[in-house]
Structures are given as structure tokens and as C-alpha cells.
Homo-oligomer: A and B are copies of this chain.
Amino acid sequence: MIDFNVTLRATYADTDQMGFVHHSNYLKYLEYARWETFRNFGLTYKEIEALGILMPVIDVKLRYLKPIYYDDLVTIKMQLDLMSPTKLSIDYELYNTAGEVIHIANTVLAFIKKTTKKPCRIPEFIEEALTEQVMSY
């Protein structure tokens, strides 16, 4: 199992009047982080969709430990786990620049066919790209 890291910066539009990044925007950060990680594997999500596969999120768990503030640099560490032939689970830990864990998350993604919108087994081209990158069922 290998760790992957992506760093991003919290924008002003992401904040709410509490003075923190709004809790819904964390899901956008996780999405950005996982597809940047796929890009590093040599497989973009854009290509996946072009090849007829969608990967919707079907399950989410989020724990907010410390707030993210405007302009913070956030590092997202990920572990991928192909938990079954039809589901990819991803664990996330978010760190601030002080090295503190500020958020823990898990998302589960399914594979579905773009034409039928029906679930399917992970396509070979994705499984190959993920080999050695993920824990496997």
C-alpha cells in the first residue's frame, strides 16, 4: 500500500461567515485530490469518462477535527483500496502546514457505464493503472 499526497490552497469563495471553509467544500477538495493522484498514475478521470465509465461517489464519511481557514495550504494524504471488483475505497487525511491532522475522510466510489448508468466491474484499463498503487480485494 502506497501513500499519495496532494496540496491545495483554500480559496475565499470556499469560506462561509463562520470564518472557516464551509463543510461542503471538503468534498470538492477530496475529489480534486483523488483525480490529481490518478493523473500521477498516468490515468486522468477525463480519460475514464471518455472511455465510457463514470465513477460516482456512493458513500462518504467525514470527521472535522480543526477548521480550515482562508488561504491555508492543505496537504491531503490518500490510501486507495480496491475493496471489491466494483468499489474503490479511498481514505484521506488532511494536514495543515504545522503538520497537524485537521480532517479524516473516506469515500467509496462505484464504477458505472455511461450509456446504461448501471454498475459494472472495474474496467481492465483502470485496474491496470491502479496495480501496485492500491490495496486490493
Residues of A participating in the B interface, judged by any CB pair closer than 8 Å: 11-13, 15-20, 22-25, 27-28, 31-32, 35, 44-46, 49, 54, 56-64, 67, 70-71
Contact = CB atoms under 8 A, between A and B. Distances in A.
Contacts of A28: 11, 13, 24
A77 to B, nearest CB: 19
A76 to B, nearest CB: 14
The 8 closest A-B pairs by CB, nearest first: A24-B27, A60-B62, A15-B17, A46-B71, A23-B57, A13-B28, A17-B19, A58-B64
A70 B13 contact: no
Contacts of A49: 17, 70
Contact of A56 (B20, B25, B45): B20
A46 B63 contact: no
A18 B112 CA distance: 11
A111 to B, nearest CB: 13
A30 B19 CA distance: 20
* A16, A54, A56, A61: most-surrounded residue (chain B CB, <10 A): A16
Contacts of A27: 13, 23-24, 27
Contacts of A57: 23, 64
A21 to B, nearest CB: 9
Given A22-B13, A25-B24, A71 B45 contact: yes
